[in-house]
Amino acid sequence: MTNKVFIVYLTILAAFSSSELKASDWKTLVNLKGRWQFTVGDNPDWASPAADTRDWDVIEAPRDWEHYYEGYNGYAWYRKNFGLTELPKTEMVDLFLGYIDDVDEVFINGHKVGQTGQFFPNYESAYDQERHYLVPVSILNTSKNVIAIRVFDEGLEGGILRADKFGFYFDRDQEGMAVDLTGMWKFSIDNFGDMNSPQTSDEQWDEIYVPMNWESQGYPDFNGTAWYRKRFTLPESLKGEELYLVLGKIDDYDDVYLNGYKIGEVEELDSYSRFQRSNAWALYRIYKIPSNFLRSKNLLSVEVEDESQFGGIYEGPIGIMKAQDVRDFREKVRWQEQNSGWNSFFQDLIRLFD
């Protein structure tokens, strides 16, 4: 690659990376960088807010624990107390913990909120996966809260290694929802016919968080077709309003049904290109809801096809918006969607001048 072309590439890459960082309008609730209580060993009681940790050490995080415990491999726990000055008017907030080597299990006020990797006897490292967990606002307090993280390291570096975002955040765009649809959804990778029909039972389906990719929720390396379902009640105040369903970003393709009727698919979006299907994962799903399909109690069904890598409804905001709010949101993300195909351009540029 010539120096001139390389400089042009870096300039464009910087612009693209900046737009990616703005994919969600994050507001910091709590920055967790800094001093944490820490101990080696393993005891399930340490997840409890009432656990006695007076004899624990204090270390900095994110930073590999070898800086303090050279050569240590095995189990260890982190704990930190934190307060909140506000609780957002959303169902969930986002917890980012960066990269943890190798396996972690996270508790907030004694409630397990997530795990990445597998502990023994079915050990599976997840050292290369960024930790992102959804935390129900209902388990948080405005005064004192406790986060406890159980970590297992098999070798080399261990612990909470590095992070760009490290703490609790919420997406400001989520507050614009007239109906918040984040949280637990029914989920199935089986297809036994009429999956979008309200008459088809979902009692035996699994449950996963939305928005979050399905790989980090018990479906590692799954590529193919899966179904999501969410039931919601339409407030009386929204009846007669022009409403839109916002499903954030989906990897890769989707068909959306409301009460059994199809209301949209990614191919219908203006920003979707049939000549470059690979851009589907980067597009915001916004579908107008036909008023005659809405009921007081509703069933939303989403069929998702994933071709490779991560899959599912992976990024918000998620919910129902009024017309005036969705117009503002469209303008906010229009530039991003127009430039979502740049990543493929970068790859072509590298191959051309390599």
Q: Judge whether 255 lies within some domain.
A: yes
Same domain, 181 and 83: no
pLDDT of residue 25: 84
pLDDT surpassing 80 at residue 336? no
Asked if residue 61 lies in contact with residue 106, where contact means CB atoms within 8 angstroms, the answer is: no
Are the C-beta atoms of 65 and 72 separated by less than 8 Å? yes
Boundary of a domain, candidates 171, 196, 211: 171
Cα 182 to Cα 209: distance, rounded to the nearest angstrom:
8
Flag whether 307 is in a domain: yes
What is the domain range of residue 305?
Answer: 177-345
- Average pLDDT estimate for 68-97: 93
Looking at the predicted structure, is the pLDDT value of residue 164 above 90?
yes
Which tens digits make up the pLDDT trace of 229-246? Answer: 999 999 999 999 999 999
Where is the domain boundary, 151, 171, 191? 171
* Residue that is last in its domain, among 171, 195, 227: 171
Q: Is residue 284 part of a domain?
A: yes
Please tell me whether residues 85 and 215 are part of one structural domain: no
Tell whether the model's pLDDT for residue 347 goes beyond 50.
no
Instruction: Give per-residue burial for 97-124: e unless 16+ CB within 10 Å, then b.
Output: bbbbbbbbbbbbbeeebbbbbebeeeee
Residues 202 and 305 in one domain: yes
Higher pLDDT, 217 or 337: 217
- How many structural domains does the chain have? 2
Please state, rounded to an integer, the average pLDDT across all residues of the chain: 88
pLDDT at site 279: 87
List, for residues 274-329, the tens digit of each pLDDT value: 777 888 999 999 999 999 999 999 999 999 999 998 999 999 999 999 999 999 99
In a shared domain, residues 125 and 188:
no
353 or 47, higher pLDDT: 47
Amino acid at position 34, single letter: G
Lowest mean pLDDT among 83-92, 95-104, 121-130: 83-92
Same domain, 204 and 247: yes
Q: For strand 167-171 and strand 183-188, is the pairing parallel, antiparallel, or unpaired?
A: unpaired
Q: Residue 17: its pLDDT value, please?
A: 36
- Predicted confidence (pLDDT) at residue 122 exceeds the cutoff of 90: yes
Flag whether 2 is in a domain.
Answer: no
Residue 182 and residue 39 share a domain = no
For residue 320, the domain's CATH number is 2.60.120.260
Distances (CA, A) of 262 to 228, 235, 300: 14, 22, 10
Mean pLDDT value of segment 97-122: 96
In terms of domains, do 158 and 236 share one? Answer: no
Co-location of 195 and 249 in the same domain: yes
Residues 96 and 212 in one domain: no
